[in-house]
Amino acid sequence: MARFEPAALPDLLPVFYRRLFPHGAYGRWLGYGGVVKNYFQLREFSFTLRDDVYVRFQSFGSPQELERELQKTNPYKIDIGAVYSHRPNQHNTVHMGAFQPQEKELVFDIDMTDYDDVRTCCSSADICSKCWTLMTIAVRIIDRALVEDLGMKHRLWVYSGRRGVHCWVCDDAVRKWSPALRAAAVEYLTLVKGGAETVKKVNLSEPIHPFIRRSVDVVEKYFETYALVGQDILGSPENWDKVLALIPEDHREALQAEFPKKRNSVQRWELLKGRMERTRRTTAAAKGTACYADWEVMLQFCFPRLDINVSKGVGHLLKSPFSVHPKTGRISVPLDLQKLDQFDPFAVPTISSLCHELDAAGADEEQEDGAETEPKRRARDYKRTSLAPYVRLFEHFVEDMERARRGEKLRRSDLEGDF
């Protein structure tokens, strides 16, 4: 893969926006079938330009106008905001207080830096294949709950380009949700609570909610490989003391005495887990209070950590899919949930590697029929690069939404025909 150099962005971005960015599907996505008049025109876009020049409240009359502007300004980053009451680019002409966000996708932002207290391999903006498992777990838990518990259909999961993932829930009804409803959804999906000074961040009590049970089922599939082997959370007295701090005192002392006799984290975890399971069986028989300390540890180390402010604010901006990350050069690509466990953030194409692939394909192209029109050639360009599967994934997502919209239209016309 061609090495990415941030200094090359001014040369690479014009090629990206002219020949690779999926303008067609992107416009169809944010236009939502034109069902609501001026929906696209009322959407805020924000551009980050060279030298961190930040331009908010951009809006465009059509996807084609947005395409022309992207190719003219070549932003380092694109953020998407809300659909407003008035065109965002005219917000200065509107009476103060009248310009308000009306609708937006329900979005989730999961960032690896929020796990710094429980990962030992990396910290801050750094990630590796070991801790990336946390993002896999987060997508699995949140997506299952969105579909099965909250009844949502159209979810677009996107790699941020560096150290996290974003989710865009695009259902018509959900886009109309108030901040209070959005906050309630995040609250439902939150188990890890408390800041840096809070030692025990997960506290479970009976009856255990089905959402928690299902989340534990997801974590269990990854826990041994990720936490016990990869992070070695019980590998040394220093490490296991952090875990034992989350265990009730009446179990802590016995485990502290037994842990040194075991060979590794896996064996120590079996000991801890076995003890908790026995207490649950005996308390169930005696109708006492069960202890779920093993579940609490698993959830504290692995459960998704959501940024509530990003999700509840209708006017909050979030980085656009297919934006280029200016530090890593990686593209914010959609995630294929069917192949989520195989996703490797380090294998995601960078703007450098894509332009290199285009150059290589260009040599072949010169030997082809020169009569082909520029739009046709451009429409085919991305297919010659490693961006192709991600664009196709995005197109499938948009097509599924369009199909659902047509189905809903037919259903309504049938209903109206019955009267």
Q: Which residues are catalytic?
A: 44, 109, 111
Alpha helices in 34-146 (DSSP H): 63-73, 129-144
Q: Are 228 and 270 in contact (CB under 8 A)?
A: no
CA distance 402 to 413: 17
Those residues whose C-beta lies under 8 Å from the C-beta of residue 326, and which sit 6 or more positions away, are 6, 9, 48, 76, 77
Residues linked to residue 54 through DSSP beta bridges, in sequence order: 48
DSSP state of 229: I
Alpha helices in 224-369 (DSSP H): 237-244, 249-258, 265-286, 293-302, 308-312, 351-365
Which residue has tokens 């999906």? Answer: 189
CA distance 290 to 411: 49
CA distance 3 to 322: 19
CA distance 90 to 84: 11
Amino acid at residue number 250: D
Q: How far apart are the first and last CA of the chain?
A: 62
Residues linked to residue 84 through DSSP beta bridges, in sequence order: 101
CA distance 108 to 312: 9
Amino acid at residue number 16: F
Q: Are 46 and 56 in contact (CB under 8 A)?
A: yes
